[in-house]
Structure 1
Amino acid sequence: MKVTTPSSGGASAQFDVQNKVATSSNLKAAKQADTPTANNDGQVLAKDVYHGAQAPSPALVYDRPLVITASDEQETPEQYSERMDAATGMLFAVSIPKIAEDMSAEFAKVEQEVERLAPGLNDKAWGFSVNEEGALVVSGDDLTDSEKLLLEQKLNENQDLVALAQAFQDTMMEGIELLKGPNERGGYWAKYDIDRSNFADIIDFKALMEQSSQDNEQVRLGDARLNQFTLVDNIGEQLQRNARQL
């Protein structure tokens, strides 16, 4: 008996059948790919594991520490000249010499009072300076405790002398910072480690005034009580002798 296939949708139906067959084949292939392979005994074989050398290391990275430093701040010649002029005026030419001159006059008053209270004490080896708190402190290995107490009492009673000692310290610190400049280094007094915390261990006002004092005849003729060039030299010598060099 002859069977006749319906003609309606013949080509379209054939295309649908082909698509279904292809899809079914693809799904079967994908499923087989994900299914562990079985050996002849029906046992499932484990996936291959690589037992050779270790996997290659990641790409090498250049691990030298990278140090980034700020470049030195550059000054124009005009800025440098202005800074050095200001530092010179404060430390060597005007401010420090003037303060020391006024200190000498006030210290002479204290010496007179000390001589009245304790004759001969001025002749002992001692010095004084200003500490971080702004008080005048006395140094001297030959002094008794009572002598040191008396000297510090009389020095600090002279408020003008205290204020001048504080101004000396302030001016010297500011002038040294100017010498260092924006790059925090410099020569002259700026190469020494001195600040308010160790100032009293480095600068001895009494020694500065004694070593740079003019004789009485020069003072009588109107000259300064202190020779400013000798004073500046003596400050430099105390820094060299007592301060650590940076």
Structure 2
Amino acid sequence: MELSWAFKIDEGLRQLGIKRETCDKDNDMKIDASAGLLLHAKHNQVTDKIKNVGSSSKEALTVDPATQFISSEPTLPTEQMRAKSDDGKLTVINYKSNGKLDLPARFEAHRELIERVANSTSTLYLHDTPAAANKVAEEYDKTSADLNVQNPELQNKNWGFSIDGSGKLIATGHLNQADKQLVEEALNGNDKLVSAAKDFKNNFLEGLEIERGSSGTSQYWGKYDVNEGNFAEIIDFKEMITQSRNNDKQREATGYLLNKREWTINIADQLKTSAEPSFTK
């Protein structure tokens, strides 16, 4: 499924925290610090497809709330970002074969920021990480069904699971040793669940690094210190699934187990609760 971004560069950059001055001869741009909260709000409402921009100059980065997860298939170089320039002409901006955006010359000075925002948003909020999350949820449902047959009392106990630095799924929370062993054997016995959890962690950590960029700081998820060593202490897959699940009607309509908006909110909550904001801008 091809992703199209409805992105008017001038208006879009404003919402990303950048404002271009009216002096066209030097195309000077500056950071608008007040725009950060707007972008954060959009992250909490992000969906998989940003609708094509119409003719109205006021319309930018509008989203379709009915749209859910999309395929995590590679999006380069077919992924396109559509931008509307100041002269009113629609400009189609493609990723080049080298993975770089083919930007208009007047935005070249801000390439690193624009590409960092586009790539981190794709990895963290739109494609790779949420697609892996949905796969984790699907495979966990299969495993939990067997677990509940083996030990129905697990449904009444407060526990979770994550993935450690060695790539093993581990049970967390209030379980005795026998229950912990039962849960971990079942979880790690599902190869697809283990693989999906690894994909989630790898994409998540990569996205955080991209978001921080050369400055090493971020206003959003990238500000939190999550790494190979502490990932299991911060991200609880079971909580993620429980708190982000679509109801039957939503799942039938979208084909996906998790609700993107609720998933985004839950991950943000887990980060706020358990991670240190060591890379705050």
TM-score tier by shorter-chain length is 0.5 to 0.7
> In the alignment, does 2:132 pair up with 1:99?
yes
**Matched residue pairs, number?**
171
Name stretches of at least 5 consecutive residues in structure 2 with no aligned partner: 1-107
- Listed as ranges, the gaps of 5+ residues in structure 1 are 1-74
Deviation at 1:205, TM superposition (A): 0.4
Tell me which of 163, 182, 185 is aligned to 2:214. Answer: 182
8 Å Cα contact 1:114/1:122 also seen in 2: no
Aligned position for 2:117: 84
What pairs up with 1:188-207 in 2 under 5 angstroms? 188-207=220-239
Which residue identity is paired with 2:216?
E
Q: Distance in 2 between matches of 1:88 and 1:207?
A: 23
Identity of aligned residues (%): 33
Superposition map of 1:1-246 within 5 A: 76-141=109-174, 143-246=175-278
2:122 aligned partner, one-letter code: G
Supply the distance in 2 between the matched residues of 1:195 and 1:87 (Cα, whole angstroms). Answer: 16
Q: Which amino acid aligns with 2:231?
A: F
**Contact 1:87/1:179 (8 A) holds in 2:** yes
- Per-residue CA deviation, residues 24-61 of structure 1 (Å, 9 max, x unaligned), is xxxxxxxxxxxxxxxxxxxxxxxxxxxxxxxxxxxxxx
Q: 1:100-145 CA distances to partner (integer Å, 9 max, x unpaired)?
A: 111111000111110111113133110000001110011112x111
Deviations 1:149-178 (A, max 9, x none): 000000000011001101101001100000
Output the CA distance in 2 between the equivalents of 1:198 and 1:109: 27
User: Deviation string for 1:39-91 (max 9, x for gaps)?
Assistant: xxxxxxxxxxxxxxxxxxxxxxxxxxxxxxxxxxxx93122111110100111
Distance 2:156 2:142 in 1: 15
Q: How far 1:96 moved relative to its partner? A: 1.3
Q: 2:109 and 2:195 mapped to 1: Cα distance?
A: 36
- TM-fit CA distance, 1:211: 0.2
Alignment partners' CA distance in 2, 1:96 and 1:222: 18
Aligned residue number for residue 54 of structure 1 = none
SS of 1:244's equivalent? coil
- Which secondary structure does the structure 2 equivalent of 1:128 belong to? strand
**Is the 8 Å Cα contact of residues 156 and 162 (structure 1) preserved in structure 2?**
yes
Q: Give the structure with the larger strand fraction.
A: 2
Q: State the secondary structure of the residue aligned to 1:245.
A: coil
Q: TM-score if structure 1 supplies the norm length?
A: 0.67
Question: Which residue number corresponds to residue 48 of structure 1?
Answer: none
Partners of 1:234 and 1:164 in 2: CA distance: 18
Please tell me the residue identity of whatever aligns with 2:186: K
Q: Post-superposition shift, 1:207? A: 0.2
RMSD: 1.3
**Which residue identity does 1:151 align to in structure 2?**
V
CA distance in 2, matches of 1:86, 1:220: 30
